């Protein structure tokens, strides 16, 4: 499944959902039309992702750079994404994990493709994209930080993408998963530097690059 040009995407298990039902998503849960929407209504973690995505979408579709052609393209891509999200009931990784990763990738796509979506970050829960140049990696690594109820980072490079959950660390912001026995995936930022290890790969050092 492709996502904003990413031909392959690894997914990881997020932690258990927060207490259910206390946070209302952007849609009416009484009219939930899919297993994915029911899962969002039952999880504060997923509901917080939904609210952040809805905020970014509103900014992108109503911003000063929202020409008629771009608005129509955005609406179509959103419809396509909603259909993909509804298919998460089929995912071998589990419904909730599939939905969470779908939101993280979509947030990444909106922030990367629409500058208007980045116009009100003081009132949001996501940041980026931030570019990193990593030793031995023949492309920039793009990172979008999604600081909702269960923070994650969405990373993209070459034709790949990954979503990693934030874990405890003594310093900086560390995102990791040991889902891969051969070599855990890792992204650990400390100031303008970061350590990155893709699934099954070795750790490399990265430096933040200016964008624009």
pLDDT computed for residue 200 by the predictor: 82
pTM of the model: 0.90
Both tokens assigned to 150: 């269960």
Please state, rounded to an integer, the average pLDDT across all residues of the chain: 89
| Each residue's pLDDT tens digit, 156-169 | 999 999 999 999 88
User: Contacts by 90-98 with C-beta closer than 8 Å and gap 24+?
Assistant: 93/11, 93/13, 94/13, 95/35, 95/36, 95/39, 96/14, 96/17, 96/39, 96/43, 96/46, 97/11, 97/12, 97/13, 97/14, 98/11, 98/36
Specify the higher pLDDT residue, 101 or 181. Answer: 101
pLDDT computed for residue 98 by the predictor: 93
pLDDT computed for residue 145 by the predictor: 98
| Each residue's pLDDT tens digit, 76-97 | 999 999 999 999 999 988 999 9
pLDDT computed for residue 170 by the predictor: 83
pLDDT computed for residue 11 by the predictor: 54
DSSP β-bridge partners for residue 186: 176, 197
Alpha-carbon gap, residue 176 to 187, rounded angstroms: 6
Is residue 108 predicted with pLDDT exceeding 90? Answer: yes
| Each residue's pLDDT tens digit, 3-29 | 323 334 555 545 444 445 589 999 999
| Each residue's pLDDT tens digit, 43-52 | 999 999 999 9
pLDDT band per the 50, 70, 90 thresholds, residue 178: confident
Place of tokens 């400390």: 190
């Amino acid at each position: 499944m492709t996502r904003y040009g990413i031909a392959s995407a690894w997914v990881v298990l997020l932690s258990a959902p927060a207490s259910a039902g206390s946070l209302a998503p952007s849609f009416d849960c009484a009219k939930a039309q899919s297993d994915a929407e029911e899962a969002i209504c039952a999880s504060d973690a997923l509901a917080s992702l939904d609210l952040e995505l809805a905020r970014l979408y509103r900014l992108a579709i109503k911003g000063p750079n929202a020409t008629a052609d771009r608005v129509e393209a955005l609406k179509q891509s959103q419809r396509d994404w909603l259909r993909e999200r509804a298919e998460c009931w089929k995912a071998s990784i589990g419904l909730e994990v599939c939905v969470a990763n779908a939101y993280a990738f979509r947030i990444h796509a909106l922030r990367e493709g629409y500058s208007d979506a980045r116009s009100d970050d003081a009132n949001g829960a996501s940041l980026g994209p931030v570019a990193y140049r990593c030793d031995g990696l023949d492309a920039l690594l793009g990172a979008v930080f999604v600081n909702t109820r269960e923070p994650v980072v969405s990373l993209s490079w070459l034709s790949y993408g990954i979503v990693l959950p934030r874990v405890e660390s003594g310093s900086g912001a560390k995102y990791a998963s040991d889902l891969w026995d051969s070599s855990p995936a890792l992204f650990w930022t400390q100031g303008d530097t970061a350590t990155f290890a893709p699934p099954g790969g070795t750790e490399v050092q990265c430096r933040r690059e200016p964008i624009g």
